[in-house]
């Protein structure tokens, strides 16, 4: 592997791509460390550490939310906009037509996604600023915020516009990485934020600040983390290959087709999207509870406290609901993606068929049945990974986990995808790759 790394840096074009990616990550980390004025950074960091739901949003911001920097929102609004556009494409006829127009249509949909990101980022920034402007221990986390107050309206609007611009800046940087660097740019940015927070978490684990069982707790947590990583790799790489036979066609004196290929149906076709769906919904009641507990009415405060306790990430009912939602969203999103791919129609148009299955509707039924079976494994695994922090904390006593479920999926998935791209670049130039 070291030889492959050396070979990668020997190739000028590939070396430029790697250095460009690293340079953009350095710029991103620099921007993420610059807070906006009027923020109590230490109190804000403690508040986010105590709220695991906000910790997920901090994950997508590359730890920028803890500093409340201009990139505090990260790329989460863009991810949300992308998911909304994917779900709306088969429903809205105009978007469905654009998806069938090739690269030009996809570029137009991508443009709509960017437009949708702007209002989503503004609204999310307003929600965060409003939450952090509440009292915490007698002092506000964010001072001087009030969009509908004459004395603070201009500064508050400037703050929200800066945060929205920060999100679009990260999206632009991600697209630059995709075009001129290695890997998917948006995923690389999230990956960089996760990796940047690892040294502090490792220090807490080694010094025993995050575990109650000492050395045995550390060993147990390490074993569970390694098993989870191996499982993620196997599930992400797992696929069911459906054989496809192409009919023979004769044009002039030449014969075309007649060969056999396969359709790779992945065990986990949805990736980390079900986790994002589930977390987005689970965050909402917790955010409402945070507002209610500050009410002047005792009944409202009590209701907010009960709601906050019910949706506590350390409670059994929260993790059970989280597991069921991840499983359900895995099936939902997998079927949405399968319908958008239009595999049965494309096979029939190309004169290809699955042996033993009639083209058209029967092919669609067969593929849906197979996909439903293999998705069960992926859905149960994703649900298990989602609640793994809860299970691991009960077994090992580790209270502050190094990586959450979403973090593990992102880190492993991005690492595999980046290694594949480097592998392909090296193989194209007749070098041995990383995987042997």
**17 vs 19: CA distance, rounded Å:** 6
Q: Do domains 1-199 and 211-399 have the same CATH topology?
A: yes
**108 vs 96: CA distance, rounded Å:** 12
Q: Kindly indicate the confidence band of residue 253, based on its pLDDT and cuts at 50, 70 and 90.
A: low
**276 vs 181: CA distance, rounded Å:** 26
- What is residue 308's predicted lDDT score, i.e. its pLDDT? 72
Q: pLDDT tens, 139-172? A: 667 777 777 777 778 888 888 888 899 889 999 9
Range from 59-73, 319-333, 356-370, 377-391 carrying the lowest mean pLDDT: 59-73
**359 vs 8: CA distance, rounded Å:** 45
The predicted model scores a pTM of 0.77
**226 vs 232: CA distance, rounded Å:** 10
pLDDT of residue 211 exceeding 60, the answer is no
CATH 1.10.3370.10 fits 1-199, yes or no: yes
**281 vs 78: CA distance, rounded Å:** 17
Segment 417-428 shows an average pLDDT of 75
Share of the chain above pLDDT 70, in %: 79
pLDDT of residue 261 exceeding 50, the answer is yes
Q: Which residues have C-beta within 8 Å of that of residue 116, sequence separation ≥ 6?
A: 81, 84, 85
Share of the chain above pLDDT 90, in %: 5
Domain ranges within the chain, ordered by starting residue: 1-199, 211-399
CATH topology (fold) of 211-399: Preprotein translocase SecY subunit (1.10.3370)
CA-CA-CA-CA dihedral for 287, 87, 83, 120, to nearest 10:
-60
Range from 41-50, 203-212, 244-253 carrying the lowest mean pLDDT: 203-212
Per the CB < 8 A criterion, the answer to whether 330 and 274 are in contact is yes
pLDDT of residue 214 exceeding 60, the answer is no
What is the three-class DSSP state of 39? strand
């Amino acid at each position: 592997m070291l030889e492959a790394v050396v070979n990668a840096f020997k190739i000028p074009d590939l070396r430029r791509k790697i250095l460009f990616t690293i340079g953009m990550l350095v710029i991103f980390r620099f921007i993420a460390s610059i807070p906006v004025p009027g923020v109590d950074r230490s109190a804000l960091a403690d508040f986010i550490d105590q709220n695991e739901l906000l910790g997920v949003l901090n994950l997508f911001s590359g730890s920028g939310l803890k500093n409340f920097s201009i990139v505090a929102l990260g790329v989460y609004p863009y991810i949300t906009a992308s998911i909304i556009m994917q779900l709306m494409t088969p429903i809205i006829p105009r978007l469905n037509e654009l998806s069938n127009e090739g690269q030009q249509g996809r570029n137009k949909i991508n443009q709509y996604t960017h437009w949708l990101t702007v209002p989503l980022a503004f609204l999310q920034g307003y929600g965060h600023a409003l939450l952090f402007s509440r009292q915490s221990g007698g002092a506000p986390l964010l001072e001087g915020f009030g969009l509908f107050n004459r004395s603070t309206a201009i500064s508050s609007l400037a703050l929200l516009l800066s945060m929205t611009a920060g999100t679009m800046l990260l999206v632009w940087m991600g697209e630059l990485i995709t075009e001129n660097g290695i890997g998917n740019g948006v995923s690389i940015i999230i990956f960089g934020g996760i990796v940047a927070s690892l040294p502090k978490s490792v220090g807490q684990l080694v010094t025993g600040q995050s575990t109650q069982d000492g050395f045995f707790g550390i060993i147990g947590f390490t074993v569970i983390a390694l098993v989870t990583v191996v499982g993620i790799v196997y599930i992400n790489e797992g696929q069911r290959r459906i054989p496809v036979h192409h009919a023979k066609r004769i044009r002039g004196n030449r014969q075309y087709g007649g060969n056999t290929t396969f359709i790779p149906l992945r065990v986990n076709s949805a990736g980390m999207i079900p986790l994002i769906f589930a977390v987005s919904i689970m965050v909402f009641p917790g955010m409402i509870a945070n507002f209610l507990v500050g009410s002047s009415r005792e009944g409202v405060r009590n209701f907010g406290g009960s709601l906050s306790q019910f949706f506590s990430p350390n409670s059994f009912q929260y993790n059970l609901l989280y597991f069921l939602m991840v499983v359900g969203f895995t099936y939902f999103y997998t079927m949405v993606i399968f319908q958008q791919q239009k595999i049965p129609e494309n096979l029939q148009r190309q004169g290809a068929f699955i042996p033993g299955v009639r083209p058209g509707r029967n092919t669609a039924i067969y593929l849906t049945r197979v996909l439903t079976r293999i998705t069960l494994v992926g859905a149960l695994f994703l649900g298990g990974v989602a609640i793994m922090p809860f299970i691991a904390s009960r077994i090992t006593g580790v209270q502050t986990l190094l990586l959450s479920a979403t973090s593990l999926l992102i880190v492993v998935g991005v690492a595999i995808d980046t290694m594949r791209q480097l592998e392909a670049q090296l193989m194209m130039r007749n070098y041995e790759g990383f995987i042997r």
